[in-house]
């Protein structure tokens, strides 16, 4: 399979010496890393290691206690259309039709109704759900709802797509299908992606780079050099999973 790579403008997300705590407990401890244009990064780790807190800081929903989060040198002070977010719970408006859910962001940004609908139809087609524009969310399967959630995040034209275990609640077959769909969309649009997951195989399948978090800090980074699409039977795939597993389980 050949993928066409779309060039986008330069971008760098920088997380520098970030710390965050709640009720006297440090959740993030001096976290530092950069993300460049086009990169697909998976953040992997056990529950409670600080993954979601980190994503919420990058999204602008939280502020660090110390350190900084910047995009092209500009501090992140709150949510922005340049950073789209996809949650495990798709968070669609149940009273809005699918097309209206996707058009909501562009309308809030000041687009006319006609412009917002044009954008919404474009991204609904991108995720393969143009025939479901007039459906309500409750009429869709779990995988379809997540596709709508991805389309809604993309409709605002983000440079960075933040995904907090978006496939965690899906069955195995639907999850594998959604991984392939996400790669297809990413390779067409080329935003930078930060994708939180508990799944080692999902991380190795999707990522350019995997960051392993333990106890509130980045314990290790792994660059994935295999060509896409990737097979979980490939020796490098299996070897990388074993290496990451060892880091996760070592005390």
What are the sequence ranges of the domains in the chain?
Answer: 1-82+165-251, 89-157
pTM of the model: 0.90
Q: What is the pLDDT of residues 33-76, one digit of tens each?
A: 999 999 999 999 988 889 999 999 999 999 999 999 999 999 99
Compute the distance between CA of residue 201 and CA of residue 110 in angstroms, rounded to an integer: 41
Query: In percent, how much of the chain has pLDDT > 70?
Result: 95
Mean pLDDT of all residues belonging to the chain:
90
With residue 162 as reference, give the H or E element that holds it: strand 160-164
pLDDT, position 251: 67
Phi, then psi, of 156 in degrees rounded to 5: -85, 0
CATH fold of the domain at 1-82+165-251: Rossmann fold (3.40.50)
Q: Tell me whether residue 162 is exposed, middle or buried, using C-beta atoms within 10 angstroms of its C-beta: 0 to 12, 13 to 18, 19 or more.
A: buried
pLDDT digits (tens, 9 = 90+) for 106-125: 998 888 999 999 999 999 99
Return the pLDDT at 52.
Answer: 92
Q: Which of 87, 80, 125 is nearest to 105 (CA)?
A: 80
């Amino acid at each position: 399979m050949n993928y066409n790579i779309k060039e986008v403008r330069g971008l760098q997300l920088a997380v520098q010496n970030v710390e965050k705590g709640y009720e006297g407990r440090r959740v993030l401890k001096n976290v530092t890393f950069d993300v460049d244009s086009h990169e697909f990064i998976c953040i992997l780790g056990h529950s409670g290691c600080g993954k979601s807190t980190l994503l919420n800081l990058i999204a602008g929903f939280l502020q660090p206690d110390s350190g900084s989060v910047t995009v092209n040198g500009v501090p992140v002070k709150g949510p922005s259309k340049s950073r789209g977010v996809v949650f495990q719970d798709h968070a669609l408006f149940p009273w809005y039709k699918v097309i209206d859910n996707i058009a909501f962001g562009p309308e809030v940004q000041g687009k006319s109704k006609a412009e917002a609908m044009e954008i919404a139809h474009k991204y609904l087609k991108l995720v393969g759900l143009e025939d479901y524009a007039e459906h309500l969310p409750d009429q869709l399967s779990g995988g379809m709802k997540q596709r709508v959630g991805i389309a809604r995040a993309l409709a605002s034209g983000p440079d960075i797509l933040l995904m907090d275990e978006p496939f965690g609640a899906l069955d195995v077959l639907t999850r594998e299908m959604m991984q392939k769909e996400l790669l297809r969309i990413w390779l067409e649009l080329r935003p930078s992606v930060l994708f939180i997951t508990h799944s080692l195989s999902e991380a190795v399948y999707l990522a350019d780079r995997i960051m392993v978090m333990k106890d509130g800090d980045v314990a290790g980074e792994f660059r994935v050099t295999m060509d896409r699409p990737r097979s979980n039977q490939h020796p490098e795939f299996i070897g990388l999973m074993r290496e990451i597993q060892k880091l996760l389980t070592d005390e």
